[in-house]
Amino acid sequence: MSASEFEAQVLRFQRSLETQSDRVVQGAALVIADNLVAGGRYGPGTPVDTGFLRSSWRASRNAPETVEGVAGTSESPTPEPDLSGGVIGARAGEVLYFTNGAEYAGIVEERQPFVAPVAANVPQIVADVARRLGEAP
């Protein structure tokens, strides 16, 4: 095997690892987003009264985004936030932010934790997603 063939194999392997890592990051971020908003295996989800707190979630890469949501009414329910836009295309090594623009989010978190359980489970989420994708860390 020549030096250039070896270098080409190493570069292919590196690109493969980068692609696998990106898939795990994106998958884990979607699971985190789902559990922060609606709840699931890793957390209870955001409590709902008017829906404003839940609709105030945002996901972004490399810088936090804080835009308040909108409260719903019985005639017009509050839409669920779509956090996938901040997650799709995420790459390993980028910083992902899940922020909530509602001023009272911290107070609700103190009384009824909905972020801390998900945050505590991030290592497990990553491991579970990697295993599901066949790319265990």
**Which residues face 43 on adjacent strands?**
40
Q: What is the mean pLDDT of residues 35-47?
A: 95
Greater model confidence, 50 or 37:
37
What is the band of 52 on the pLDDT scale with cuts at 50, 70, 90?
confident
The pLDDT value recorded for residue 68 is: 59
What is the band of 135 on the pLDDT scale with cuts at 50, 70, 90?
low
The pLDDT value recorded for residue 70 is: 59
The pLDDT value recorded for residue 42 is: 97
Tell me whether residue 71 is exposed, middle or buried, using C-beta atoms within 10 angstroms of its C-beta: 0 to 12, 13 to 18, 19 or more. middle
Q: Does the global pTM surpass 0.95?
A: no
The pLDDT value recorded for residue 17 is: 83
Task: Tell me the torsion sign for CA atoms 59, 63, 25, 28.
Answer: negative
**Domain locations in the chain?**
45-137
